[in-house]
Amino acid sequence: MVVTELVLDNCRSSNGEIEGLNDSFKELQFLSMANVELTSLAKLPTLSKLRKLELSDNVISGGLEVLAERCPNLTYLNLSGNKIKDLGTVEALQNLKNLKSLDLFNCEITNLEDYRDSIFELLQQITYLDGFDQEDNEAPDSEDDDDEGDEDDDDDENEAGPPGEYEEEDDEDDGASDLGEGEEEEEVGLSYLMKEEIQDEEDDDDYVEGGDEEEEAEGVRGEKRKREPEDEGEEEED
């Protein structure tokens, strides 16, 4: 299992060392050891991939040159609440070439005159000191960035329209098409029935006309039969 983040806040160090923290944590990128009573960093293991180191509320007063040796890729370092008193102690951080943010809040060094200007002049690689840059612009918070990303996602969803809107439109379209098909079927049915009725009427007319012709034929045959006996009688009298 690869460990990239490790929080050991409020653990108690023994002789400046946290038991179990060693060179095996080679993949660590974030390490927090706040309020663990560290007096020095002499026993800090080599963590070449470490980017953020939290060391607030300890009793560290010097020996910061160890950081450049053991954690050369640090970009964020929090030393607030320690016993750092002078610029000479902080000068050792010049070798942290990737350092962008340094926190010395609640250290005695912050009481020095022109403290901020002096630190920015001494450590020209840093952008933020105690959470603000040289123009007093606050450092961005990664959590705030995430929130802004979520808001952007929400805006995109709102622009796209409320959920179900398109589904309702599709349902309406389907209903309209079904209704149209029903009307067509109804029209076809009516026309078909009308044709059937017309055909039935024509058939009835044919039947009636045929019946009249048969009756007329029967009448002619009857008249012939009547006339034949009469003709025979007249011949006998002659």
**What would the pLDDT profile of 70-122 be if each residue is shown by its tens digit?**
999 999 999 999 999 999 999 999 999 999 999 999 999 999 999 999 999 99
Please name which of 61, 63, 103 lies closest in space to residue 86, comparing C-alpha atoms. 61
H-assigned helices in the chain = 65-70, 87-90, 115-122, 142-159, 165-237
Phi-psi region of 105 (alpha: psi -120 to 50; beta: other; left: phi over 0): beta
Domain layout of the chain by residue ranges: 1-143
11-45 pLDDT, tens digit per residue, is 888 777 788 888 899 999 999 999 999 998 999 99
Does domain 1-143 fall under CATH 3.80.10.10? My reply is yes
50/41 Cα distance (integer angstroms): 15
CA distances from 80 to 54, 84, 131, 193 (A): 9, 9, 11, 94
Q: What does the pLDDT read at residue 171?
A: 56
Q: Is there a contact between 122 and 91 (Cβ–Cβ < 8 Å)?
A: yes
| Mean pLDDT within 169-194 | 50
The two beta strands, 101-103 and 30-32, are unpaired
